[in-house]
Structure 1
Amino acid sequence: MSRLYGDPIEVWTRDGDPIQFVWRDRLYLVRRVLDHWVVAREWWKTGESDPGERRFWRVEAGPGREVGSYELRFDTAGGDWLLLRGWD
């Protein structure tokens, strides 16, 4: 079962991939990247000449022995990270 969140998170990366993140005051270690994709933002909707892109990762991560799947998003225009979705 998946849940939508859209919560801001703090992320540490290595070679561009997330290796750990803080969500709701807990540190999650990324155990494995399951998928990664990039979506260009539509300049005609934002009115910006360079609206950037959104980079997504689906990862297995957890704050200890617990492991779940999470979808993370990085917005290159604003430099913001979000935890979009989680699976039990």
Structure 2
Amino acid sequence: MSRLYGDPIEVWTRDGEPAQFVWRDRLYLVRSVLDSWVIAREWWKTGEGDPGERRFWRVQAGPGREVGSYELRYDTAGDGWLLMRAWD
């Protein structure tokens, strides 16, 4: 079962992929990238210039020994990261 969040997170990347992130004051180490995809933002829903895109990663990550699956999103137009979803 998954839960939706949409919480802002701080992410560190390595070779263009998330390597670790902080969510709710805990550091999560990314163990593996399960999937990634890109969705172009609709030009009519953005302001002037490049509408950017949303890049998604589904990762296995956790603080310490705990490991779970998480979906992270990076918005190129807003230069921000969100934790979108977590699986039990």
TM-score tier by shorter-chain length is over 0.9
Give 1:39 deviation, angstroms. Answer: 0.4
**Aligned partner of 2:36: which letter?**
H
> Sequence identity, in percent?
86
- 1:24 maps to 24
Query: Does 2:68 correspond to 1:44?
Result: no
Deviation at 1:46, TM superposition (A): 1.9
What CA deviation, in whole Å up to 9, does each residue of 1:19-55 have, x standing for no partner? 0000000000000000000000010222433110000
Over aligned residues, Cα RMSD in angstroms? 0.7
Q: What is the CA–CA distance in structure 2 between the aligned matches of 1:62 and 1:6, rounded to whole Å? A: 18
Helix, strand or coil at the partner of 2:35: strand
Give, in whole Å, the separation in 1 of the partners of 2:47 and 2:11: 28
Superposed displacement of residue 66, structure 1: 0.5
In structure 1, the gaps of 5 or more residues are none
Partner of 1:3: 3
- Say which SS state the counterpart of residue 9 (structure 1) adopts: strand
| Long gaps (5+) in structure 2 | none
Q: What count of residue pairs does the alignment treat as equivalent?
A: 88
